[in-house]
Chain A
């Protein structure tokens, strides 16, 4: 079976190893199951196949992708094929030598994450001392030929610092700042009770971001991503399942999105066994929710079915146990009350579980 839908973007999750322990990480909980990482030659073959398929955007992510020593070699392979290369990093390993290596390899863009604008809070969220090194990395990238975006994931513990995040980004003169409310996948889903912002925080954040957007127009682009737990219609997740995006996990598993492995009713193919194009076209996991034919009502007859493509399948599975259910983020979902109830957990304060490869043994 083939499809005339072609992917534009491939996310290469090079490793799930990371020296940070952010409780909002969207990586899967079973990180330890991904230690058998695919090798350089396999990644290079996959990158070549992506270029052959007409993919134009390549993301290198993780975990922390700079922990892979072959990162620059992979960037070089991608750049040689004309692909646009993005590095999504927390920045703590971007010293002058590493950055020079990436510039030389032809990297186009770096996105650095910030946990918070203040050192104490940032290090507390990351679970380790990182903030100063991140600021140094930001300055270093700003003085390089590589474009820089700052990204701050917002949740209850840092949401009130949003104005300071904007000031910090502006002080570095970055071209783009993403203020992204936490999405509840992986570790973030596990920690949703402690991460959920309050309704007041979200409203205040939107107000501050909207004002800043006007103030910095033409100098810094500011994107404020609303949490879809607070909206009435679902997000157009991945611009539709199997329509524009592919993800390859560290162990070679090919998926329509980074969270898809949580849908345990699907089985995924591996790039070690099959070419990328064949997986895109024919793999059952990719065709499962592609297009609109799989949709239940009210999605099937909804005039937004080709706008939001039914929302997020991972969220539907996590909250209802059925990957083909209406995304509960939609007010028309019979399970919308689940989302409404979860919003209210923003008024409680459960303990956050830090992201770790192995669970710490209880004391």
Chain B
């Protein structure tokens, strides 16, 4: 997967952050609980930012290694793409 691609949510998929800060991905007839790092990455998904942009944002905000963040984010997005929750354009 090239990290110049821009991820966006598929139709019927949205991120919901509760008052207590916990996040879940709402999908047709389901909800996927997210850990903090997945939630942080998905909060940056807007169809405009590239994967590179998202990794850069995460590295600037959290104490995380660039290569590690790139691997984690790419793996997460690929999993969601395979389940048709994310489009990469």
Q: Which residues of A are in contact with B by a Cβ distance under 8 Å?
A: 8, 54, 56-57, 59, 82, 84, 86, 108-109, 111, 145-147, 149, 175-176, 217-221
Q: Quick check: which of B35-43, B56-64, B76-84 contacts chain A, the rest being far away? A: B76-84
Q: Give the Cβ gap from A67 to chain B, nearest Cβ, in Å.
A: 21
The 3 closest A-B pairs by CB, nearest first: A147-B12, A109-B28, A84-B26
Q: Taking the complex as formed, is B44 at the interface, i.e. its CB lies under 8 A from any CB of chain A?
A: no
Contacts of A57 on B, CB cut-off 8 Å?
26, 29-31
| B29 CB contact (under 8 Å) in A54, A109, A217 | A109
Q: Give the Cβ gap from B52 to chain A, nearest Cβ, in Å.
A: 22
| B12 CB contact (under 8 Å) in A108, A219, A221 | A108
The CA of A253 and the CA of B10, in the complex, are separated in Å by 35
Contacts of B12 on A, CB cut-off 8 Å?
108-109, 146-147, 175
Say whether A86 contacts B29, CB under 8 Å: yes
| 9 interchain pairs, CB-CB under 8 A | A54-B18, A56-B31, A84-B14, A84-B26, A108-B28, A147-B11, A147-B13, A219-B84, A221-B84
Say whether B29 contacts A175, CB under 8 Å: no
Q: Which residues of B are in contact with A by a Cβ distance under 8 Å?
A: 10-14, 16, 18, 24, 26, 28-31, 81-84
Contacts of B18 on A, CB cut-off 8 Å?
54
The CA of A176 and the CA of B82, in the complex, are separated in Å by 12
The CA of A179 and the CA of B34, in the complex, are separated in Å by 28
The CA of A218 and the CA of B16, in the complex, are separated in Å by 24
The CA of A217 and the CA of B79, in the complex, are separated in Å by 11
Contacts of B30 on A, CB cut-off 8 Å?
57
Contacts of A56 on B, CB cut-off 8 Å?
16, 24, 26, 31
The CA of A328 and the CA of B28, in the complex, are separated in Å by 31
The CA of A8 and the CA of B16, in the complex, are separated in Å by 13
Contacts of B24 on A, CB cut-off 8 Å?
56
The CA of A59 and the CA of B31, in the complex, are separated in Å by 13
Say whether B26 contacts A176, CB under 8 Å: no
| B84 CB contact (under 8 Å) in A8, A54, A111, A218 | A218
The CA of A332 and the CA of B74, in the complex, are separated in Å by 44
Contacts of A176 on B, CB cut-off 8 Å?
28, 84
Contacts of B28 on A, CB cut-off 8 Å?
86, 108-109, 111, 147, 149, 176
Contacts of A219 on B, CB cut-off 8 Å?
84
**Which A-chain residue is minimally distant from B26 (CB atoms)?**
A84
The CA of A54 and the CA of B18, in the complex, are separated in Å by 9
**Which B-chain residue is minimally distant from A8 (CB atoms)?**
B31
Known: A56-B31, A147-B10, A175-B10. A218 touches B82 (CB 8 A): yes
Contacts of A111 on B, CB cut-off 8 Å?
28-29
| B14 CB contact (under 8 Å) in A59, A108, A217 | A108
Contacts of A59 on B, CB cut-off 8 Å?
29
The CA of A109 and the CA of B11, in the complex, are separated in Å by 8
The CA of A122 and the CA of B26, in the complex, are separated in Å by 32
Say whether B14 contacts A221, CB under 8 Å: no
Contacts of A218 on B, CB cut-off 8 Å?
81-82, 84
Contacts of B14 on A, CB cut-off 8 Å?
84, 108
